[in-house]
Amino acid sequence: MNVYYDRPNSRGIGRVIDNLEKYIPKDITLSSREDADIIVLHVVGRNIHITAEAQEILKQGKKYVVIQYAWKSTRNPEASDWKLLWDNAHLVWSYYDLKKYVGNFYHAPIAADPNIFYKQEEEKKYMVGTLGDIKCYKVECFGEVHLAAYYQMGKVIHVGQPFNHDPIVDFIKDISDDDLRKIYNQCKWFSALRRKDGFELPAVEAILCGTRPIMFDTPNYRQWFDGLVEFIPEGSVGDTVFRLSKLFKSRNNPVTDSDIIEVKKRFNWEIIAKGFWERCTN
């Protein structure tokens, strides 16, 4: 069977692709789009564009597989909006529980590589870290996190483009995985706050590095991260700042060795990738 997928300009999706390739079965070949039997679609945004692409794939006599990274944060947050795409997919993979909407469904999270992300002896010089694109400033709550840290006189590091000149924030961009691992290790907390939904990868990477992530307490995150992260309710900007400030003022809840063992068990790339390929060939 021949499989093709685009490689978008996304570090997170790149990690997914790298690990799918790492555990690809011998009877599956990565091919060009023209020669592919199955085309993998990465869904992070607009429904209308991806659905049109999927319909074109079907017209060519090929199958498609959907990896649904986002749903509630898109412009089409209702299941009915995605029915055409999901109904005609050979397989849909998501960390969302879509079993009642999708026939051939693979329910699994996105993992992280413990050979890349692990604990190091580093000074916890930052109260909290944030990571993401400036376009996601509001959705990923950079302002709320930084303001709460300011109230508690803490330092912040942001991985991504600078978006202001805040003296309490260090900005760093275009870094290697080794640099990112060091940053995770230098933080007491790491924000994985995503309004509605979003890439959960920084939460997994942070725990492997011994840093406790903060997430909104929504079902799509609770199902995978229960007992491993600090949850706060998804509230208004003011409420989020208040809860974060209170959290930063409290005693830090350090990540334990048993937490890291549990993360490796729940978020295991070998198991997740092999499960994906197995369902692709059914």
Q: How large is the C-alpha radius of gyration of the chain?
A: 19
Predicted pLDDT of residue 261: 97
pLDDT at 262 over 90: yes
Predicted pLDDT of residue 84: 95
| Both tokens assigned to 115 | 């050979």
Q: Which of 11, 17, 81, 97 minimizes the C-alpha distance to 49?
A: 81
DSSP character at residue 255: P
Name the strand (E) or helix (H) holding 12: helix 11-22
Task: Tell me the domain boundaries of the chain.
Answer: 2-111+268-280, 126-266
Per-residue pLDDT reduced to its tens digit, 68-94: 999 988 888 999 999 999 999 999 999
Predicted pLDDT of residue 46: 80
Predicted pLDDT of residue 162: 87
Which three-class secondary structure string do you get for 112-153?
Answer: CCCCCCCCCCCCCCEEEEEECCHHHCCCCCHHHHHHHHHHCC
Predicted pLDDT of residue 66: 97
| Both tokens assigned to 248 | 């930063």
| Both tokens assigned to 152 | 């508690």
Per-residue pLDDT reduced to its tens digit, 190-215: 999 999 887 789 999 999 999 999 99
Q: Which of 191, 279, 272 minimizes the C-alpha distance to 229?
A: 191
Return the percentage of the chain with pLDDT > 70, whole number.
Answer: 100
Name the strand (E) or helix (H) holding 241: helix 237-249
Predicted pLDDT of residue 206: 97
Q: Which of 16, 33, 102, 27 minimizes the C-alpha distance to 281?
A: 27
Predicted pLDDT of residue 8: 83
Distance CA 211, CA 197 (A): 21
Name the strand (E) or helix (H) holding 225: helix 219-225
Residue 95's pLDDT band (boundaries 50, 70, 90)?
Answer: very high
Number of Cβ atoms within 10 Å of the Cβ of 29: 14
Q: What is the mean pLDDT of the chain?
A: 93
Predicted pLDDT of residue 29: 93
Architecture of domain 2-111+268-280: 3-Layer(aba) Sandwich (3.40)
Maximum Cα interatomic distance, the chain, rounded to a whole number of Å: 60
Whole-prediction pTM: 0.93
Distance CA 184, CA 201 (A): 12
According to CATH, the superfamily of the domain at 126-266 is Glycogen Phosphorylase B; (3.40.50.2000)
Per-residue pLDDT reduced to its tens digit, 4-59: 998 888 888 999 999 999 999 999 999 999 999 999 999 988 889 999 999 999 99
Predicted pLDDT of residue 267: 96
Domains 2-111+268-280 and 126-266 belong to one CATH topology: yes
Per-residue pLDDT reduced to its tens digit, 167-178: 899 999 999 999
pLDDT at 247 over 90: yes
| Both tokens assigned to 252 | 């830090």
| Both tokens assigned to 135 | 């376009």
Query: How much of the chain is helix, strand and coil, in % rounded to 5?
Result: 40, 20, 45
Name the strand (E) or helix (H) holding 15: helix 11-22
Per-residue pLDDT reduced to its tens digit, 119-153: 999 999 999 999 988 888 888 999 999 999 999 99
